[in-house]
Amino acid sequence: MQSVDRVTAVLMCFTDGEPELGVTDIAQRLELPKSAVHRLLEALTRSGMTAREHERGKYRLGPRATELSLAALGTVDVRSLALPVMEELRDTTGETVTLSFVIGNQRIYVAQVESRQDVRMTVEVGRRAPLYAGASGRAILMTFADAELDHYLSAVALTPLTDRTLHDRASLEEVLTADRLRGYTDSSGERDPYAAAVAAPIVGRSTRAFACFSVCGPRDRLDDAARDRCGPLAVAAANRLTELLRGS
Amino acid sequence: MQSVDRVTAVLMCFTDGEPELGVTDIAQRLELPKSAVHRLLEALTRSGMTAREHERGKYRLGPRATELSLAALGTVDVRSLALPVMEELRDTTGETVTLSFVIGNQRIYVAQVESRQDVRMTVEVGRRAPLYAGASGRAILMTFADAELDHYLSAVALTPLTDRTLHDRASLEEVLTADRLRGYTDSSGERDPYAAAVAAPIVGRSTRAFACFSVCGPRDRLDDAARDRCGPLAVAAANRLTELLRGS
DNA sequence: TCACCGTTTCCCGCTGAACGGAACACCCCC
DNA sequence: GGGGGTGTTCCGTTCAGCGGGAAACGGTGA
């Protein structure tokens, strides 16, 4: 059914990192006539899957999509899917592996798999942390679109947690730019003076991460060379979880 | 467009609390011919919005729906929407109000608005708790379908946290049955010997809660009469948040 | 093992829902 | 005022999607 394919394609456009899209934009992405896209969006808006704030405005996902989302995520236990991937990453790297979710403009540890070594990092599952300090938070931040990042940096005071925390906007943006290129972030002594970590964002099809993995341990052990080795492993694990979530 | 309406209607069937549905079931709910529903589901499954495990099996939401969900929820900051509702509930009841999310088979405090009274309940935002102990957890459990509840009770050891915690299956199920009728749960001394609470589940359109509100305070103040008064207020606040999420 | 029941799948003639090109309307900016 | 780009509307055309009904399938109980 051609219509079903088109509905799905239009809705999936909203997962590409931009929450608001126009008729012409979607038509170009999907190589469809504007009249067809317009007709689809009008019908989707009437049925609640998309919405827009005013006439001639851009479209966004609507209340029915939110309701569908709550149901869809209720049936997928992200944490259960993640645990085996985390165990594999822990065994490969030898360090503690954590999973954090984004909630608002903070992140929260929801699971960890601890290193088997006697000297190890342990985090307090349930603890929240800001996004600007440390590898995990920045792994999420680096997936933000420019406008979103700008909004975040305007809204949040960059209070240093240790004397190694990046807290001025310019150096933060510079670090994020570099991190985007390699797909992971790293930190040493930013949230805890004796800890170091690498982290990789976890995305759906959206480019905006909803969670991240980190590999963390004592600074002495997770030195520059170890972080260089662990970063790509964290990226691979994050990609693995994304595949599992997609059901492929 | 008739097809768009049908696609939306079919997808929304999956938000009614049952994660798996058959052709006949959906056709009956929507009063559509089975051949039409079958054609829609086949097309939705090809495009990834729905999926099924084997031929002739039931359908469920698919990987594209999961991806769409992550994008949709990324644009709705549930916590920001909730805070004004929680403040209003705090002012009406005089007690501390909390918001918990479901993560796996536990819940986690994500926000609180504290009572203005000097003697007050304070929770540790970020702390996790089981679903079987206390008003908040049971507010979530009571929205589970029978099969899901059965699965939960089989999987989780009902370890008492205080000597008032309900920890045998029969009395838990009995309490849940009663709570479903009135739409909220209450507890006194189950997780903390000196605390009492009422809690109401927060749902999308799904009957399975993704979060809950609680009103909590010292047991002496939140006695039977106070809990009777606060329960319906918590239910109204939960419904209010659901409306806000739906964008109505 | 077989019959029954309920569900899923498939078929096919029909028609109006959906199609897309093009023109129009609108808005922003120089 | 005009250019550029986007959103909206129109309308003749056509085939995608329609639904009734039959066939196929699977589970269950005697």
Q: Which fold has domain A2-72?
A: Arc Repressor Mutant, subunit A (1.10.10)
> Residue B205: phi, psi to the nearest 5?
-85, -25
Which positions in chain B touch A210 (Cβ < 8 Å)?
70, 73-74
Closest among A63, A131, A167 to B73, alpha carbons compared:
A63
What does strand C contact on the protein, if contact means CB under 7 A?
A: A 2-3, 6, 32-36, 39-40, 56; B 1-4, 22-25, 34-35, 38, 41, 55-56, 58
CB-CB contact of B213 with B93 (8 Å) = no
Strand-pair partners of B21: B59
pLDDT digits (tens, 9 = 90+) for B76-122: 556 667 888 899 999 999 999 998 877 667 787 878 899 998 888 88
pLDDT digits (tens, 9 = 90+) for B221-233: 999 999 999 999 9
Separation of alpha carbons B151 and B153, rounded Å: 6
Least Cα separation, residue A224 to chain B (angstroms): 32
B45-67 average pLDDT score: 81
Residue listed under structure tokens 């590898």: A135
For residue A92, pLDDT beyond 90: yes
CATH number, domain B76-246: 3.30.450.40
CATH 3.30.450.40 segments of chain B: 76-246
Strand-pair partners of A212: A100, A201
pLDDT level of residue B169 (50, 70, 90 thresholds)? confident
Burial, A52: exposed, middle or buried (Cβ in 10 Å; 0-12, 13-18, 19+)? Answer: middle
For residue B247, pLDDT beyond 60: no
For residue A76, pLDDT beyond 70: no
B135-161 average pLDDT score: 81
Of the partner residues B40, B126, B203, the one whose CB lies closest to the CB of residue A126: B126
More confident residue, B160 or A248: B160
For residue B47, pLDDT beyond 70: yes
For residue A205, pLDDT beyond 80: no
pLDDT digits (tens, 9 = 90+) for A111-137: 889 999 888 888 877 677 888 888 999
